[in-house]
Amino acid sequence: MPKDAENITDLLVSYGRGDKESLDRLMPVVYDELRRQAARYLRREKAGHTLQTTALIHEAYVRLVDQRNVQWQNRAHFFGIAAQMMRRILVDHARTKKRAKRGGSDIRVSLEDATATVKGQDLDVVAVDEALSRLEKIDEQQARVVELRFFSGLTVEETAAVMSISPATVKRDWSMAKAWLHRELSGDR
Amino acid sequence: MSETDPQRWQRVKEIFEGALERRGVERESFLENACANDGDVREEVESLLRSYEVAGSFMESPAVAQAADDLADEQKLTPGQRVKHYQIVNLIGEGGMGEVYLATDTILGRRVALKVLPTFVSKDPERLRRFTQEARAASRLSHPNVCVVHEVGETEDGRPFIAMEYIEGQTLRQRIRSQAMKLGDVLDIAIQVADALIAAHEAGIVHRDIKPENIVIRPEGYVKILDFGLAKLTERHKGATHTTMSTLLFNSSPGTVIGTAAYMSPEQARGVAVDERTDIWGLGVVLYELASGRVPFTGETPTDVVVAIVEREQPPISEHVDGAPPELERIVRKALRKDKNERYQIVKELAIDLRSLRKELEKNSMLERSILPGTGSSASSEYARASSSRDRKAETDELKQLRTDFIESLFPRRPGWMFMVVGILVLLGVIFGTYYKRARPSEPKAPVPFERVEVTKLTTNGNALMGALSPDGKYVAYVTRESGKESLWLRQVDINSNAQLLAPREGQYQGVAFSPDGNYIYFGYAGTQDNDAGRIYRLPVLGIGATATQIEFHEGLPALSHDRKRIAFIRFDRQSQFDSLIVANPDGSGEQVLGTRKWPERFGWDPLSRPEWSVNDQTLILPVVTSDRSFTDDTSTNFSVTLFEKDLVGSAERTIPLSPQKFDEIGRVTVHPNGNGVIMLGKAHGAAFVQIWQLFRDGSQRALTNDLSEYRELSLRADGSALITVQTQTLSRLWLLHKNEVKPAPVGSGTSRYYDLSLAPDNKILYASDASGIADIFEIALTGGDERPLTSAGGRNYAPVVSPDNRYVVFHSNRTSVFQVWRTDRDGSRPKQLTTEATESTWPTFSPDGKWVLFQHADPNNPYTLWRVSIEGGTPERVTDGLSIRATVSPDGKLVAFWHNDQQQNSRWRLKVVQLDTGATFNIFDVAQTVQVQWDTSLRWSPDGQYLTYVDHAGGIDNIWGQPFAGGAPKQLTNFDEGRIFSFDWGKDGSLVASRGVITSDVVLIKDAGK
């Protein structure tokens, strides 16, 4: 456990108490850890394998947070933060790629897939993000379910636990959000 | 009513959820009821339901894998950030294969270019491995036209990086754009590229991507090729077809500048296997472009370019410019043959043709002519004349000349730069020292070479004596001894092939080394007539059957600067006891002394030491070994190591302290090529074994080996990524042979390291053992039981002897720093120091009456003379004048015998017997050559007083022989059929105890397995 684990735990606790400033201090640490974990995972993976969904965030959590002193509530915050972060990372990256593609000068684009879609899915991350932002304004709970499930890969049960709602509610929220987002993205009404 | 109206949303949500639970007619009627008259809500719910039905797997696979990928990917480094010990200065380039930063090596204080590759590279371990292998291989080329790779590593978040030489200058691409090129420049550049490729191809490395972007021209005209091995990375998958695809992808937008595609060889374009002839093609394209200002194959789209490469003939250069020499046309045509079997087959051929052309043009003063379009001359007839005179003979001569040039540029034509004669005697031998406190190695903090290692035993016969690793790590030269004869072998590491270079012969090898270019093996050798004064010989590595030539020497190995313009070496002046650091021109002229050290401070310490050049050739780094005594004195001790750095410009010098670790013995000390510290052989202060140590600039140290073996050779690959050493392991057990019996019986069941046996009057065996890493004295009953230590007061304790009355034990110990003779009670209690001289007193033995302790004492002027001191202490008195080793007193107390060497020319060790009271010589005996006398070779009077007994290695097996003290031929007293005898002693009843076992000594390869 890194030596700043205690600090992270404190920050999470105070974030849980509503101290928004602690979030600013949490983000870079969580981000760093996620990156480290991601790098480690990618190295471990054989090409073509997909990442075990939540393992990455779980591991970051275990490494960063002193679990003896943190309440379940804080764990939920952590996963919430991680999910938001993953979302941001994906979107930023996709935007960069789009820009590069338009610029036409970045060779990297041609080496990687030249679209800003999620691997194996015909899905525009930036569009998903924009639609999700609209959904947030209408139904924050649904948007958070999407964040946790789609961007962090949490299962229904995990999402329910993190959000302190029932799995049935998660399922219902997920279904509707999915339908709504799909409609938004496909452009038909 | 807006979508964002919470009440409406809530309603839509409830109805949607309710509808989802129902199907068909049921859902219809549910919707009918729920929506009542609100058609708007109903429309919304139905729209969402339709969307839900078609959404299918939409968003069902989380994007986390993608996010992880992105996370780890292309995180740009910012100025000031660190990658290991490299501090980022700024981003200097960016491309498909990651970013290039200018960075500072914070350890060496030099600038480096840091290429950080994208994460996807590291996701395919096989590809990463191949790349690393190639980059490392390329880094070992150490060719002046190849960009030096310092390190291949991984950033903290798993991106591979390459730290390489920072080259100031412009790429050939920039140069083409910025100024007109003269024919001479074109040929110069092409020749340098060809030279680099010759070296690479000989090392089995194909560049695969020769193009103007990968060729950098330094301001003074040197050409450097970048990115050896990198091209492999663009092969996204195994199978070359994909290479083509990815290469095409680089240029997928029509109208953009055609990049790599234009330099692709037909075989690359077709996606079949490539070899070094692909580089010949690449150079051909570059040459064509330099000469004509255009690439030979073009097209609107990459596909067109590929078609042109595979199918069309390039237009002659003269179509673009006037005055291209026909010979140049011919060379380019030959390099650009579609069928690789019709091309130049090796780059050397191409290089020879280019050189010939240059020479001929030189004769006709053509080199200054520009051949860019519009500025070309109309002198094609002159070119034609100039180049028509080539013939076969010229080519052959050129080849010879080229080879000579190549070799001589590496080897200054100058006798006497190799070794110092006396110094080589120290090559293997480590000097004995004495000290007391135990060292406590601490963990290093800096990035550590050899932190993880792969260890391979290269020999298994157990009879290797010494060895050296070639600079490229491909070969190991080593010496083995069998049946008293030594032979020189060459082993090819990767394919495990062994070849005997020199047949077994009498005499001793004294050290072996490769020349810096790996072409020669140097070795010190003393024939049987040489009396240990070895000479140095030189043998070509690939000269099986060749004869070794003797060479003169009085200097250390030269180190060639990266620009090949200077050499640096250490000169050892034994007369005035000065070591000097010297730089000179490669031919030996223009010598300049950069620094001196007066012994006992020494540069480099042994003749195989040489300075390291910093990559910019601005600084020389070398180790300094300091002792608290003179190096001519065998009792030197307390060695420590620092680094000395000397700037050639501005001539600033720095002494850099390393770990303060003290050593009792010290062997080879080498600067690690990364400049971070030294890697060396040493017996840490107070330790029992010589181990391989690393001392770092940050003051930390680390024992690379830490076991019960001795290490006695250290030879580093040029890039520091591997080393070989000779590991010696000794195992023995105790045996008891009763009088008149033939078969010995083991004492106890233990296998350990038993030395210095002494049979006490109470029938206990006393012995010294360093099996725990520190030497102490123990006793054990003849039955194998009651084993216990008698010393535990620190220091190394050896050579116990029990007094005839069984009251005392005497032994030598360095617990007060210098080895002295000590006495304890029989149970190990009440230690008393019997000798107190400044220099060592060792190997005590009793007079039969138990009143006197005889011992050998060394001072700088009189090595090992015999002295005696009362068992109660007091002032010692000298018994003999000459060399007297391992004295033993006859049972009647009248005679004393010892090993003696009169140190005259061709002198040999003899057995000398003198009267104890007068010192008068009683007898001197020659002993067989198979008796290997050293400073600690056992000698015991037999209990009946008839024989002087010692170990003879006759026939390759140790047995105890007896020399009748009154004269006559020696007699074999034991009949062991195997192994070595490390020590023995006789009981009063004629029984014999012996420590017997094996010494295995093998060449071991230790590879840095990276982080």
- Tens digits of residue pLDDT in B927-948: 988 887 876 788 999 999 999 9
Counting other chains too, the contacts that B497-506 makes at CB distance below 8 Å and 24 or more residues apart are: B499/B544, B501/B477, B501/B539, B501/B543, B501/B544, B502/B539, B502/B548
| Residue B149 near residue B163 (C-beta atoms within 8 A) | yes
| Residue B936 near residue B918 (C-beta atoms within 8 A) | no
Spatial distance between the Cα atoms of B432 and B443, rounded to a whole number of angstroms: 27
- Is the CB of A1 inside 8 Å of chain B's CB atoms? no
| Residue B65 near residue A120 (C-beta atoms within 8 A) | no
Collapsing DSSP to helix, strand or coil, B835 comes out as coil
* Closest by CA position to B865, among listed B843, B846, B849: B843
Spatial distance between the Cα atoms of B1001 and B566, rounded to a whole number of angstroms: 39
Q: Kindly list the strands in the beta sheet with B701-703, ordered across the sheet, starting from the edge strand earlier in the chain.
A: B663-671, B677-684, B691-696, B701-703
CB atoms within 10 A of CB B27: 16
* Contact check, Cβ <8 Å, B69/A176: no
Confidence category of residue B97, pLDDT binned at 50, 70, 90:
low
pLDDT at B446 over 80: no
- Is the CB of B73 inside 8 Å of chain A's CB atoms? yes
Collapsing DSSP to helix, strand or coil, B879 comes out as coil
Q: Which of B335-344, B428-437, B765-774 has the lowest mean pLDDT?
A: B428-437
Spatial distance between the Cα atoms of B558 and B461, rounded to a whole number of angstroms: 33
For chain A, positions 22-61, list CB contacts with chain B under 8 A: 34-43, 45, 47, 50-51, 53-54, 56-57
- DSSP string computed for B16-75: HHHHHT--HHHHHHHHHHHHTT-HHHHHHHHHHHHHHHHHTTTTTS-THHHHHHHHHS--
Q: How far is CA B910 from the centre of its chain?
A: 41
Spatial distance between the Cα atoms of A146 and B88, rounded to a whole number of angstroms: 39
The two tokens of residue B981 are 């005898």
- Is the CB of A102 inside 8 Å of chain B's CB atoms? no
Confidence category of residue B407, pLDDT binned at 50, 70, 90:
very low
The reported pTM is: 0.45
Spatial distance between the Cα atoms of B505 and B360, rounded to a whole number of angstroms: 53
Residue in chain B closest to A152 (alpha carbons) equals: B64
* Closest by CA position to A155, among listed A80, A54, A76: A54
Beta-bridged to residue B499, according to DSSP, are: B490
| Residue B31 near residue B15 (C-beta atoms within 8 A) | yes
> What's the whole-number mean pLDDT along residues B492-515?
84
Which of the following is catalytic: B209, B353, B770, B776? B209
Rounding to the nearest 10 degrees, give the CA dihedral for residues B385, B387, B392, B394: 110
* Contact check, Cβ <8 Å, A39/B158: yes
| Residue B488 near residue B500 (C-beta atoms within 8 A) | yes
* Closest by CA position to B798, among listed B769, B826, B818: B769
Distance from CA of B979 to the nearest CA of A (A): 50
- Is the CB of A132 inside 8 Å of chain B's CB atoms? no
CA distances from B492 to A94, B454, B473, B904 (A): 51, 17, 9, 43
- Is the CB of B156 inside 8 Å of chain A's CB atoms? yes
List strand residue ranges (DSSP E) for B871-990, in order: 877-878, 885-889, 895-900, 910-915, 921-926, 940-941, 947-952, 959-964, 971-972, 980-986
Which residue from A51, A125, A179 is facing B65, i.e. has the nearest CB? A51
Distance from CA of B17 to the nearest CA of A (A): 6
Spatial distance between the Cα atoms of B225 and B227, rounded to a whole number of angstroms: 7
Residue in chain B closest to A49 (alpha carbons) equals: B65
- Is the CB of A172 inside 8 Å of chain B's CB atoms? yes
* Contact check, Cβ <8 Å, A178/B58: yes
> What's the whole-number mean pLDDT along residues A69-91?
71
Which residue from A50, A89, A150 is facing B59, i.e. has the nearest CB? A150
Percent of chain B with pLDDT over 70: 79
* Closest by CA position to B156, among listed A55, A1, A32, A53: A32
Confidence category of residue B185, pLDDT binned at 50, 70, 90:
confident
For chain B, positions 97-136, list CB contacts with chain A under 8 A: 118-120, 122-125
Per-residue HEC secondary structure of B651-713 comes to: CCEEEEECCCCCEEEEEEEEECCCCCEEEEEEEECCCCCCEEEEEECCCCEEECCCCCCEECC
How far the first Cα of chain B sits from its last, in Å, is: 63
Confidence category of residue B248, pLDDT binned at 50, 70, 90:
very low
Question: How many Cβ pairs closer than 8 A exist between chain A and B?
Answer: 160
More confident residue, B375 or B17: B17
The values of phi and psi at residue B556, to 5°, are -85, 175
Which residues does B155 contact at the CB level (< 8 Å), separation at least 6?
B83, B84, B116, B161
How far the first Cα of chain A sits from its last, in Å, is: 50
pLDDT at B440 over 80: no
CA distances from B884 to B819, B823, B878, B933 (A): 17, 22, 11, 12
- Tens digits of residue pLDDT in B475-497: 999 999 887 788 999 998 887 78
* Contact check, Cβ <8 Å, A108/B63: no
pLDDT at position B699, please? 83
| Residue B924 near residue B912 (C-beta atoms within 8 A) | yes
- DSSP string computed for B934-957: -TT---EE-TTSSEEEEEE-GGGS
Q: Which amino acid is it at B855?
A: F
> What's the whole-number mean pLDDT along residues A106-132?
54
More confident residue, B689 or B504: B504
Spatial distance between the Cα atoms of B724 and B457, rounded to a whole number of angstroms: 9
Burial A12-39 (b: 16+ CB within 10 A, else e): bbbbbeeeeebbebbeebbbebbbbbbb
Highest-scoring range by mean pLDDT, A112-126, B370-384, B406-420, B856-870: B856-870
- Tens digits of residue pLDDT in B788-818: 889 887 788 999 999 999 999 999 998 887 8
pLDDT at position B826, please? 95
The values of phi and psi at residue B347, to 5°, are -60, -30
pLDDT at B581 over 50: yes
B96: which chain A residues are within 8 Å (Cβ-Cβ)? 106-108, 110-111
β-strand pairing of B885-889 with B895-900: antiparallel
Collapsing DSSP to helix, strand or coil, B256 comes out as coil
**Burial, B866: exposed, middle or buried (Cβ in 10 Å; 0-12, 13-18, 19+)?**
buried
Spatial distance between the Cα atoms of B867 and B842, rounded to a whole number of angstroms: 10
The values of phi and psi at residue B896, to 5°, are -130, 135
Given the cut 0.95, state whether the ipTM is greater than it. no
Spatial distance between the Cα atoms of B598 and B329, rounded to a whole number of angstroms: 62
Q: Kindly list the strands in the beta sheet with B559-560, ordered across the sheet, starting from the edge strand earlier in the chain.
A: B559-560, B567-573, B578-584, B592-598
